[in-house]
Structure 1
């Protein structure tokens, strides 16, 4: 599949999506959303792809935000449609049954921070900066940022970041729980790939079930526990579970076949 605003590469069962608008600091526009959505569908549908990374082109930015020029003449209705569309694309990332890591190589601001938070977890280079500066435009994050930032860092820190529009550095983001690892720029993709290399050895159906069950942690109505128990039972009937149990008892490495 050919893309104009992103790069798409697959090696060792890992897909790497690179937002490729370095002259615009990889800002999100309509074309990026279209192609990002297509790339996520490609990842999910292709059995040889087991996991993925999203990163940005160049050394300055992961994604420095939305393309502000596209917001100039929007009315309330079209603004809501734009936000809903971005939310849908990011929801598809978050609900992907295959792990998708954000490898953040610079500025992750506005929609870029929201994109990073939609990924299952985040690895950042030590020059990365995070922020939701939408209040400086008289706006709030529209692609799920108010919800995911609060889930990740807590209500107090989230409201402070949202209401001030301030940026935080990679170490602060790590201390807040926004990112899992901070490494040098040269170590960024190797670190993300090394984590995925481990995940790719695990039972795909079990990984997908972990992702799905974790989505219920924020419902606060107890359905997550029921989902976890039901998934546990279903997984016990899979061939991969039987293989994993037998391999453990036989003291050997399991061979999972995604069934």
Structure 2
């Protein structure tokens, strides 16, 4: 059974809410497993065109990992924790064919910021604070933070954020390119839904291929240009391509089926 998250579908959008407000929505092992199941189900649902992930309450998106779960781990268990977490959630979210928007409400620290960075892009509330404080606990980010943060904000800023273990506010995050927009907290979900509504008008098949192509450019040993060429070609074999081009020539709005 799912206890730590809520999942709601409306108008082509599945909103997943991490629901541990008393723990500031901290990620424990059970929550990571539940998130994996929820993201997998939403991605398989042909009616879901966009996924929004957020945290319950007004204080936190995700305030980090649940430190009590791993404070006594040894080297092997620590490495396994990071490997399993990346596989089940962080890399899984990054590689979904369904677009994922992080609605960052409040604190996004440690694993919380790593989850937001695994999403395809981020929108923050004006009270949001973000950081990777792991080195203050004698450990490093283990859920992709050392890789995704420099990809998004650049090596220098990432090094500073990781080494100081400090937090930045939403306006700094915006200036760094870590988030796309900053909005008042009470407008955050509505704003994200507005973007989702723009996305869902377009071809799900094409968007899925675009996500794969963009991600390929950040993966070692993968030629992003070749991935783009292959994805471009694959689109020609879809019903969405036929509908999109026909609708354009007929001067009408396309009705995509995601096939």
What TM-score, normalized by structure 1, do the two folds share? 0.97
Instruction: Summarize deviations over 1:46-102 as a string: whole Å, max 9, x none.
Output: 111111111001000000000011121100000001011111111111111000110
Separation in 2 of the partners of 1:77 and 1:221? 27
SS of the residue corresponding to residue 218 of structure 1 reads: coil
SS of the residue corresponding to residue 234 of structure 1 reads: helix
The answer to whether the 8 A contact 2:123-2:180 is kept is: yes
In the TM superposition, what is the alpha-carbon distance from 1:220 to its structure 2 partner? 6.5
Partner of 1:158: 158
Separation in 2 of the partners of 1:221 and 1:56? 35
Alignment partner of 1:73 is 2:76: no
Structure 1 pair 70–222 and aligned structure 2 pair: CA distance change class (3 A): closer
Partner of 1:242: 242
Q: Could you tell me which runs of 5 or more consecutive residues in structure 1 were left unpaired when the two chains were aligned.
A: none
Range that drifts further, 188-197 or 228-237: 228-237
Partner of 1:46: 45
In the TM superposition, what is the alpha-carbon distance from 1:24 to its structure 2 partner? 0.7
Separation in 1 of the partners of 2:121 and 2:218? 16
Aligned length: 258
Backbone CA RMSD of aligned residues? 1.1
Range that drifts further, 210-219 or 76-85: 210-219
Partner of 1:59: 58
Q: Which runs of 4+ in 1 moved over 6 A?
A: none
Instruction: Summarize deviations over 1:184-217 as a string: whole Å, max 9, x none.
Output: 0111000111111111111110000011101111
The answer to whether the 8 A contact 2:46-2:258 is kept is: no
In the TM superposition, what is the alpha-carbon distance from 1:106 to its structure 2 partner? 0.1
Partner of 2:21: 22
Query: For 1:225-236, what aligned pairs fall within 5 Å after superposition?
Result: 225-236=225-236
Partner of 2:11: 12
Separation in 2 of the partners of 1:188 and 1:181? 10
Structure 1 pair 189–70 and aligned structure 2 pair: CA distance change class (3 A): same
Separation in 2 of the partners of 1:31 and 1:220? 31
Separation in 2 of the partners of 1:222 and 1:49? 29
Structure 1 pair 9–37 and aligned structure 2 pair: CA distance change class (3 A): same
In the TM superposition, what is the alpha-carbon distance from 1:221 to its structure 2 partner? 5.7
Partner of 2:96: 96
In the TM superposition, what is the alpha-carbon distance from 1:222 to its structure 2 partner? 6.8
Separation in 2 of the partners of 1:234 and 1:29? 39
Separation in 2 of the partners of 1:169 and 1:240? 41
Q: Could you tell me which runs of 5 or more consecutive residues in structure 2 were left unpaired when the two chains were aligned.
A: none
Structure 1 pair 238–186 and aligned structure 2 pair: CA distance change class (3 A): same
What TM-score, normalized by structure 2, do the two folds share? 0.97
Partner of 2:168: 168
SS of the residue corresponding to residue 66 of structure 1 reads: coil
